[in-house]
Amino acid sequence: MKSFILRSAFALAMSTLIFSCSSDSDSDPAPQECPPGFTGINCQTQINPSKIKITKFRVTFFNNQDNGASWDTGSGPDIFLQLVNGAGGSNIWISEIYYPDVLSTGTNSFEFVPNSPIIITNVTSSFTIYLGDNDAIDVPSNPNDLMSSILFNIYTTTNGFPATLLLTDGKAIPFRVELSLQYEW
**Residue-wise pLDDT tens digits, 70-116:** 998 888 999 999 999 999 899 999 999 999 999 999 999 999 999 99
E strands, 1-109, where? 38-39, 45-46, 51-61, 65-66, 69-70, 79-85, 91-94
Asked if 63 and 131 touch (Cβ cutoff 8 Å), the reply is no
d(CA 81, CA 132): 6
Specify the DSSP element, H or E, that contains 86.
Answer: none
Question: What is the span of the domain harbouring residue 71?
Answer: 49-184
Residue 179 binned pLDDT confidence (cut-offs 50, 70, 90): very high
CATH number for the domain harbouring residue 166: 2.60.40.1110
Q: Is residue 179 part of a domain?
A: yes
- Is 180 part of any domain? yes
Residue 83 belongs to some domain of the structure? yes
Does some domain include residue 138? yes
Pairing of strands 51-61, 45-46: unpaired
Tell me the per-residue pLDDT of 43-59, one tens digit each, with 9 for 90 and over.
989 999 999 999 999 99
Count how many domains the chain has. Answer: 1
Exposure class string for 151-181: b at 16+ Cβ within 10 A, else e: eeebbeeeeebeeebebebeeeebbbbbbbb
Residue 91: partners with Cβ closer than 8 Å, 6 or more residues away: 82, 83, 84
Asked if residue 38 is part of any domain, the answer here is: no
55 lies in some domain: yes
pLDDT in tens, 134-148: 988 777 777 899 999
Domain for residue 68, yes or no? yes
